[in-house]
Amino acid sequence: MDSVLSGLRAAAEPTRLRLLWLLAQGDLTVSELTHILGQSQPRVSRHLKLMCEAGLLDRFPEGAWVFYRVAARGPGARLARSLLALLAPDDPTLALDQQRLESVRAARAVQAQDYFTANAERWDEIRGLHVDDEEVERALAALFAGRRVRDLVDMGTGTGRILEVLAPHMERGIGVDLSREMLAVARANLERAGLRHCMVRQGDITQLPLPAGSADAVTIHQVLHYASDPAAVVAEAARVLQPGGLLVVVDFAPHQLEVLRDEHAHRRLGFTDAEVGGWLKEAGLTPGPITRLPGDQLTVVLWTASRAATPLPTQSPSVTGAQA
């Protein structure tokens, strides 16, 4: 009861209801919210602090910025969803806020496109060496066919493309990346696609900002060849994977294209099945089927692994005998 009363008190103010409405639609910073609401930064920050303390909102630092979003779990999240259901989208104040939100998103999209355009030539050069991205995406999606994922984590999410591809198969997706520029691209892409159940967070993929066993699926797409310690990345993926969960690693088979190391910062020129399988086993996972997609000069490989489901407790013979 106390948590409900606390949440109601934290939301029972016009500006806070407006904030709840806006933050149900995606991540926003204090400065963006200030622009939309037309209020001072200290006042908006005060509202956000009270709502976070009541569990209505989640707060995510990202460098010098902090993003806010409606809470994903807990009593505060449930109360927030109930309050949002009572708000009318055609309310004049909310409608005006929505228009201003769209202008903020448009500005984000322009900034993201500028960064993407500046780097597109580099990415296109690598794409031309391997099988078409659509074929890789189809193979990845096929691994999730018939599997309903509650929480998926995409490590090194980049542009957020894997979240887009797997969005139909999951209830909630989180992409983690260290680059703020790439996160800006990912946010713009997810907003454009209308994927409110997907979000991105800044973080080191060797130390994910997530608790152990918090995901029932993890993807590592074209990331390991950049890592100084690929085994550590796999181990971290295993840490956040729930019993019965699925891990999919997508990367290159061994190759000799030194240009990727010299000009594109690849630390490793592909991986063998034995190498990846060894990391998976060391992390406590069971390797699964492997898919190979040969390209012009590079072969893309999809390695899968699972964490064994926690076995049901069994009764000892003495206990069984006593019951008999």
pLDDT in tens, 149-191: 999 999 999 989 999 999 999 999 999 998 888 898 899 999 9
Confidence of residue 120 (pLDDT cuts 50, 70, 90): low
CATH number, domain 2-103, options 2.60.40.3120, 3.40.190.10, 1.10.10.10, 3.40.50.300: 1.10.10.10
- The pair phi, psi for residue 309, each rounded to 5°, is -65, 145
**Domain residue spans of the chain:** 2-103, 128-306
| Architecture of the domain whose range is 128-306 | 3-Layer(aba) Sandwich (3.40)
Q: How far apart are CA 192 and CA 116, in angstroms?
A: 15
pLDDT in tens, 192-229: 999 999 999 999 999 999 999 999 999 999 999 988 88
Query: Average of pLDDT values for 6-13?
Result: 84
What distances in angstroms separate CA 308 from CA 146, 273, 286, 288, one per listed residue? 19, 20, 7, 12
* Contacts (Cβ under 8 Å, ≥6 apart) of 191: 26, 105, 108, 109
Query: In the numeric block, which tokens belong to residue 37?
Result: 């609401």
